[in-house]
Structure formats: structure tokens, C-alpha cells
Amino acid sequence: MSITIKTGDEIDGMRQACRLASEVLDYLTPYVRPGVTTNELDRLAHDYIVNVQQAIPAPLNYAPSGYKPYPKSICTSINHQICHGIPNDRALKNGDILNIDITVIKEGWHGDTSRMFIAGDGSIAAKRLCALTYEAMWIGIAKVKPGARLGDIGHAIQTFAENAGFSVVREFCGHGIGRRFHEEPQVLHYGRPGTLEELRPGMIFTIEPMINAGRREIKQLPDGWTVVTKDHSLSAQWEHTVLVTDDGYEVLTLSAGSPPPPAFIAG
């Protein structure tokens, strides 16, 4: 499968879908607190996407090769869960960290983003992991420009995370996105500068580093979806969808409630 280059109305369609995905997270933010269940968050998100946004929750019944259909409309990964956590009736406890991953389909286009949340008062270690993972994502985004290489993004993220004493999950990566949920290219969050595909205007892909407080090894739970750290250490992830522009990048998954970029991001 080759990398698709988006132009004109295609980019506008992606802008809309990506903004809507981010707005789902804005909507959910006040509900993320101790005592709420991830099933309740899933119900709120599903109703908002379908009834308010007139869009489709992409994860619901998503079934890539080798997987059984995903049973919910969002992914909710708590504490040592790295990704693809399935919402359930477990209530969030004070100090839990939670990744909520949203993908909506609007007029055929996919918008994909995720954020970290802390229920109540998190530990210093949890807050540091969430904050540094957010910075790692933006350090990768800042490498995006025509002529750069995907390896530049991965190297920047890996170097930053490992210098902070964390590890980078290697089995999952960012991806191209458009009319399909997952397109080429794969966007690794580790690697060597100057390697892999060259970035060209019109490419759209996600940057979504998964950073572990402990070792990088993972395991999959028997539900066939949820991925956790093998050493039970905390894991965090942030995700934006990014367009390569003529002179740099545009983050498509921004909305009124998006956390501001780190101070080191110019403009």
C-alpha cells in the first residue's frame, strides 16, 4: 500500500474529522474523575459522536486481520495498560491515569487523537510520566517538514524519552490516516535520523508515542485487545494527527479544549 497524498477538499475533510475527534475529548474532560466507570465514558462519547456530531465512532466493531471485533466506541487504557483498553464497569480510583483514544469518521474521513487524564490527585511520578510523554509527542511533531525523514521523528522521541529514564514501546506506532483508519506510512517512535520515508506536503499521519515508566516489554491480555506493560509499570500515550505542509506541519486534532503546546514549540 502506497502513501496517499491529500490535497484541497481531502485535507478540509480531514481537518473536520480531526477537530471533531478532539472535541469529543473536550466533552469528556469534566467527567473523568474518581468514581466514573470507563463504560460510562464510552456511553457518553458514543452518544456525543452519533447524536451531536452526526459521525461514526471508528473503533466500534473494528476488526483488523487476526482480531475479533472491538466491542466499544472508544479505547480507555488505565495505569499499566498501554493501549486498546476496553471500557468496562471498573470505577476510576483517585490517582489513576487514563488514556482516552478517540477516532471518529465524518463524511468518510477519519480523525484520530488521544489524551492522558489523571483522576483526582495523581502521584508526582504519574504526573511526570504524563507530562514528559506529552512533550515527547510534540518533540516528534516539531521534526515534521518536507524533506525530513520519518526516522527523524522516531529518533527525537526515543532520545528524549530515554534521557528522562523512560522506555518507548516498539510494537505499536503512528500511522497514515485518511479514508482508511490505518494507512501507510508506519510512524515509529524510535529509530535513526535520516532513515525511512521522506516527508512530502499532503502526507497525513498520527504521532502517538507510548512511553513506559519501566521497561518497554509488553504483553496482551486474554481479551485479545488490551496491551499492558510486562513489568506492571505505568504507561502514558498522547496522540495528534499531523499534516505535512509546504513549510512545516499543521496539527489537525486541535480544538478549544486541547492542552496548549509546550513552551519550546514556537508560535
Comparison of pLDDT for 267 and 178, the residue scoring more: 178
Question: Using one digit for the tens of pLDDT, what is the confidence trace for 193-249?
Answer: 999 999 999 999 999 999 999 999 999 999 999 999 999 999 999 999 999 999 999
Q: Is the dihedral of CA 211, 48, 19, 260 positive or negative?
A: negative
* Burial class of 71 by CB neighbour count within 10 A (0 to 12, 13 to 18, 19+): middle
Give the pLDDT mean for 34-62: 98
- Pull the grid cell for residue 145: 517538514
Task: Give, for 110, the enclosing helix (H) or strand (E).
Answer: strand 109-118
How long a stretch of residues is the chain? Answer: 267
Residue-averaged pLDDT of the chain: 97
How many Cβ atoms sit within 10 Å of the Cβ of residue 118?
18
- Do 73 and 24 contact (CB within 8 A), yes or no? no
Position 1 confidence tier, pLDDT thresholds 50, 70, 90: low
| The pLDDT value given to residue 231 | 97
What's CA 193's distance to the chain center, in Å? Answer: 22
Give CA angle at 228 (223, 233), nearest 5°: 150
| The pLDDT value given to residue 235 | 98
Buried b (16+ CB within 10 A) or exposed e, 222-257: eeebbbbbeeebbbbbbbbbbbbeeeebbbbbbbee
Position 48 confidence tier, pLDDT thresholds 50, 70, 90: very high
Task: Give, for 240, the enclosing helix (H) or strand (E).
Answer: strand 240-244
Residue 201 to residue 148: CA distance in whole angstroms: 11
Write the CATH number of the domain with boundaries 8-251: 3.90.230.10
Beta-carbon contacts of residue 257 (< 8 Å; ≥ 6 apart):
22, 23, 25, 26, 29
Q: Please give the DSSP secondary-structure letter assigned to residue 31.
A: G
**Which residue do the cell numbers 470505577 mark?**
91
Q: Please give the DSSP secondary-structure letter assigned to residue 242.
A: E
| The pLDDT value given to residue 155 | 98
List 240's β-bridge partners, or say none: 207
- Pull the grid cell for residue 150: 520519518
Give the pLDDT mean for 20-30: 98
Question: Using one digit for the tens of pLDDT, what is the confidence trace for 109-166?
Answer: 999 999 999 999 999 999 999 999 999 999 999 999 999 999 999 999 999 999 999 9
In the chain, the amino acid numbered 80 is: H
List 78's β-bridge partners, or say none: 98
SS3 assignment, position 157: helix
Instruction: Say yes or no to pLDDT of 260 above 80.
Output: yes
Question: Using one digit for the tens of pLDDT, what is the confidence trace for 28-45?
Answer: 999 999 999 999 999 999
| The pLDDT value given to residue 267 | 58
Question: Is the pTM above the cut of 0.85?
Answer: yes
Q: Please give the DSSP secondary-structure letter assigned to residue 193.
A: T
Distance, first Cα to last Cα, the chain: 35
Instruction: Say yes or no to pLDDT of 64 above 70.
Output: yes
Position 66 confidence tier, pLDDT thresholds 50, 70, 90: confident
